[in-house]
Amino acid sequence: MYLMKLVPVLILLSANLFALHQDTVRTGWDLPVQPAIQFNDSEVETVATGVMQRDAEQIRNTSPEGKMNTTKPPLNDSDASLDVTGLWLSADKRGIIRIYEQDGKFYGRLVWLKEPEDDQGNTILDSKNPDPEKRDRPILGLQMVFGLEYSGGEWRNGEIYDPESGSTYSARLRLNGSDRMDLRGYIRLPMFGRTESWTRVGTLPDNGKIWPGFVKG
C-alpha cells in the first residue's frame, strides 16, 4: 500500500530531474571550476602530520583500549599505593584473604570465614578438590593465591584456587586505588575469565571464625 502511494511522487521527481537536465544541456550550465590549490613540500608534510595526529587522537578517544588507558593510567613503581599486602575482603563478603610476600612473589591465604560451617553445623571442607587426599581439609586456612609477580603496575603469572568448584585458574591483579583490587581469574588467556573486586580491611571482624594459624603483622 505504501509503495503504491509513492509511485506518483517518484514520477513527479523523475520529471523534474529530466527537466533540470534539459535546461543544463541547453544553457551549458555547470558548476564553476576552482583553481587547484598549490602546496610546497613543507606545507604538504605539515598537513599530513596534522592529519595523522588527528586520526591517532580519534583512535585513542574512541577505541576501548584508548578509553581504558585514559581512565585508568598504569601505576608507577614510586606510587605508595602499590602495597598489595594485607587483608582483603572477598567480593561476596564471606571471606578475608591475607596477601603476603615471600621470596619476591605474592600469595594469599583464607584467614577468616563469615560462615565456617554448613547448615548441619559441619566444618566446610575442601570437598571439591581434584586431589582426593585434600578433600578432608577445612577451607579456612587454605592458600588460595599463588606466585604472583609484580610487573608494570600489576601482579601477574600467578594462580588462584576456587574451593567452591575445585578449579585452579591463572590469575592477575591490579590495584584500583589503595583500598581496592581487581583480581582476574582466567583460563589460558585473560579474555576468558572473570574479574572480582576485593576491598582492603584493617582488622578481622569479631563475628565468623578466624584461622587459628593467623598471626597479625
Q: pLDDT of 117-150, one tens digit each?
A: 999 999 999 999 999 999 999 999 999 999 999 9
What is the pLDDT, as a whole number, of residue 188? Answer: 86
10 Å CB burial of residue 132 (0-12, 13-18, 19+) is exposed
Helices 41-62 and 64-71: crossing angle in degrees, nearest 10, is 80
Domain with CATH 2.40.128.520 in the chain: 80-210
Residue 73's closest CA among 83, 54, 60, 85? 60
Mean pLDDT of the chain: 75
Q: How confident is the model at residue 185 (pLDDT cuts 50, 70, 90)?
A: very high
How many C-beta neighbours within 10 Å does residue 209 have? 17
Q: Is the pLDDT of residue 70 over 80?
A: no
- Contacts by 48-54 with C-beta closer than 8 Å and gap 24+? none
Query: Averaged over 159-169, what is the pLDDT?
Result: 96
Instruction: Give exposure, 34-45, as e/b (b: 16+ Cβ within 10 Å).
Output: eeeeeeeeeeee
Give the domain 80-210 fold: Lipocalin (2.40.128)
The Cα–Cα gap between 51 and 138 comes to: 63
Residue 190 and residue 171 in contact, taking contact as beta carbons nearer than 8 Å? no
C-alpha cell at 103: 621470596
Report, as an integer, the average pLDDT of 48-52.
43
Whole-model pTM over 0.85: no
Pairing status of strand 189-201 against strand 180-187: antiparallel
Rounded Cα gap, residues 125 and 116, in angstroms = 9
Angstrom distance (rounded) from CA 38 to CA 49: 18
Return the sign of the alpha-carbon dihedral for residues 150, 156, 159, 163.
Answer: positive
CA distance 45 to 30: 34
Q: Please provide residue 63's backbone torsions phi and psi, each rounded to the nearest 5 degrees.
A: -80, 150
Instruction: Decide if 77 contacts 83 (C-beta within 8 A).
Output: no
